[in-house]
Amino acid sequence: MKTATRPEPRPEQRPRPTEPRPRAPQARNDRGLRGRLRSVRKWNVPAGVASLVWLVIVGLPLYVLVLTTLRDRDAYFDEGSLALPGDLTLDNYRKVLESDFFTYLLNTAIVTVATAAIVIVLSVGVGYTVVRTLSRTSQRIFQFFLLGLAIPAQAVIIPIYLLITQMNLYDSLLAIILPTAAFCLPVCVLILAGTMRDIEEEMYESMALEGASQTRVLLQLVIPLSRGGISTVGVYSALQAWNNFLFPLILTQSRESRVLTLGLYDYVGQFRVDIPALLAAVVLSIVPIFVVYLFARRQLVNGLMGAGGR
């Protein structure tokens, strides 16, 4: 977008978005920075207060959530949700794990990976064409995708239901994967086109001099240099698939093809008044992505930021 107000630092000097600590050399050498940090802290007092309030708002529900899952059902009703429970139990978790939880998790994993893979493959192709083909058609294609940017997949659930039924895909995981992937494309094409445009012309030229085919250019130049964009696209589409609820709700019904979000919803009917068990299912549904977060925090956060920066 507009650059007038902000001089663009050279890539090497740019602060990394999620670097948790100041870089060692800067912190050591730059007295001025120390002074600035102090002033930053000062002018952020209102934000600091807000952040403590926010900590309570975020923390209290999570505290109650975890605590409740460790209670027995009757204790939950009798003691109230804030009291420290007398007896802690892991029974609720056992109940959930015995109720097809792993089937749902596996289905969700399949849907997530497949959606991300389809989106990556297709949007790399489209992005490559949009950026490298100088024809009018490719511009039309790009604009065509952009029109879908804000359209929520939910809006077309009725025709999708008709389409999936006619294609004989009702109650299969493909019924969730295909439309979810299609609706990720506009955003992902946009992200990838942006990334690919940053590859310098000279690099293409030197590849061309070597007599490389288009396929080789794509595999050896474009894809490696677009890794940042590709990982953003992957995270974005994976999250869309992971969170998807309406498509599974309408397009699948059997236990065998039930994904985690729908499984959670159905636990309401199954566990009924057993709130601790239901909340244990909620906690368990967060665990897998929490593990991913622990091991790949940077990629996940970068991916999310990238999705926002589209």
Among 71, 93, 104, 229, binds another protein (CB under 8 A): 229
* 221 near another protein, judged by CB under 8 A: no
Q: How far is the CB of 90 from another protein (least distance, A)?
A: 19
Q: How far is the CB of 88 from another protein (least distance, A)?
A: 19
Among 107, 236, 238, 247, binds another protein (CB under 8 A): 107
Query: What is the C-alpha to C-alpha distance for residues 257 and 86, in angstroms, rounded to an integer?
Result: 39
Other Cβ atoms less than 10 A from the Cβ of 164: the count is 23
Does residue 70 contact residue 85 with C-beta atoms inside 8 Å? yes
Query: What is the C-alpha to C-alpha distance for residues 157 and 165, in angstroms, rounded to an integer?
Result: 12
Query: What is the C-alpha to C-alpha distance for residues 242 and 156, in angstroms, rounded to an integer?
Result: 19
Binders of another protein among residues 172 to 211 (CB under 8 A) are 172-174, 177-179, 181-183, 185-186, 189-191, 194-195, 197-198, 204-205, 208
Q: How far is the CB of 295 from another protein (least distance, A)?
A: 13
Q: How far is the CB of 179 from another protein (least distance, A)?
A: 5
Q: Which two tokens stand for residue 147?
A: 């029109």
CA 38 to centroid of chain Cα atoms: 35
* 97 near another protein, judged by CB under 8 A: no
Q: How far is the CB of 16 from another protein (least distance, A)?
A: 6
Q: How far is the CB of 298 from another protein (least distance, A)?
A: 9
Among 7, 25, 31, 98, binds another protein (CB under 8 A): 7
Query: What is the C-alpha to C-alpha distance for residues 88 and 70, in angstroms, rounded to an integer?
Result: 5
Does residue 98 contact residue 281 with C-beta atoms inside 8 Å? no
Among 54, 88, 90, 102, binds another protein (CB under 8 A): 54
Q: How far is the CB of 277 from another protein (least distance, A)?
A: 11
Q: Is 6 helix (H, G, I), strand (E, B) or coil?
A: coil
* 272 near another protein, judged by CB under 8 A: yes
Does residue 27 contact residue 33 with C-beta atoms inside 8 Å? yes
Decide whether 6 or 84 has the Cβ nearer to another protein.
6
* 46 near another protein, judged by CB under 8 A: yes
Count of residues of this chain found to bind another protein when the rule CB under 8 A is applied: 179
* 100 near another protein, judged by CB under 8 A: no
Can you say whether the dihedral through the CA atoms of 214, 217, 222, 223 is positive or negative?
positive
Does residue 185 contact residue 123 with C-beta atoms inside 8 Å? yes
Binders of another protein among residues 108 to 147 (CB under 8 A) are 110-111, 113-114, 117-118, 120-123, 125-126, 128-130, 132-135, 137-139, 141-147
Among 39, 88, 94, 203, binds another protein (CB under 8 A): 39
Q: Is 87 helix (H, G, I), strand (E, B) or coil?
A: coil
Q: What angle separates helix 275-295 from helix 45-69, to the nearest 10 degrees?
A: 130
Among 91, 100, 246, 296, binds another protein (CB under 8 A): 246
Other Cβ atoms less than 10 A from the Cβ of 236: the count is 22
